[in-house]
Structure 1
Amino acid sequence: MDDFNQIEVPPSFLALFTSPGGHRLLQPMPTVRARYELCEDLAQLSAEQAASAHFKSGGSERETLARMELALSDAGTGLEPGEVSWVVTRLAEVLGWELPRPAQA
């Protein structure tokens, strides 16, 4: 049975579900696609909230993204840490803000 779907999962998201060698997915593609749709929707729906929070706080875009990341990191969201980082990066892209720096190891 073909797994035909018009939604293309970007490489940046696929990387979250790819083996360290980058040769195979660690989850079935329908699962990866469903997680991508959830994360993309979350980034899109959070844009207005983030823009409003940024305006009201008078803080920097980076501070606003950090607060959004903290909120998304709550266990109740059901997001994995890599997904949280991806959503915050995508949120910055949607808003046209400077991309957040990757966490230091």
Structure 2
Amino acid sequence: MSDDNQILVPPSFMAVYSDARQRLTERSDVVRARYELCEDLACHLVEQAQTLYHVQAPSEADILLRIHAGLSGADSGVSAGEARWITLRLAELLEWRCPELPAPLDQS
């Protein structure tokens, strides 16, 4: 991703769009746009997760698993890999330990 754009896509997100040989499976501008969307979504979910924690008082792990399940749905607008990345990023932003996430049904 060596163009004039100032946004640096982290390696953890690049891995979502990399094959076994570490080559991107999408154009860099597509990866960057998807990263921006996923980062914004993770940041947006912080408040929702905190509200769930204080109102319903389930465990942090339960909240993250519920959010991951919602993101993994067909109508969410994100891929399985992106759903996993968003959930891991959300846990990082909240400083919560992320539970073991279910494996995606579609491994491709």
Q: What whole-Å deviation, never above 9, does each CA across 1:41-95 have from its counterpart, x for those lacking one?
A: 0000010001101111211100000111111112222110010000000000111
- Match of 1:15, SS state, is helix
Does structure 2 retain, via aligned residues, the 8 Å contact 1:89–1:100?
Answer: no
What corresponds to 2:28 in structure 1?
29
What corresponds to 1:76 in structure 2?
75
CA distance in structure 2 between the partners assigned to 1:96 and 1:58 by the alignment: 17
What corresponds to 2:55 in structure 1?
56
What corresponds to 1:5 in structure 2?
5
Aligned residues: 103
CA distance in structure 2 between the partners assigned to 1:26 and 1:13 by the alignment: 12
Identical aligned pairs, as a percentage?
44
Are positions 1:67 and 2:66 aligned together?
yes
- What is the root-mean-square deviation in Å for CA atoms of aligned residues? 1.6
Are positions 1:94 and 2:93 aligned together?
yes
Shift of the alpha carbon at 1:103?
A: 3.7
CA distance in structure 2 between the partners assigned to 1:92 and 1:68 by the alignment: 11
Structure 2 residue runs without a partner (length 5+): none
TM-score (norm 1): 0.90
Q: Which amino acid aligns with 1:68?
A: I
Does structure 2 retain, via aligned residues, the 8 Å contact 1:92–1:100?
Answer: no
CA distance in structure 2 between the partners assigned to 1:75 and 1:99 by the alignment: 22
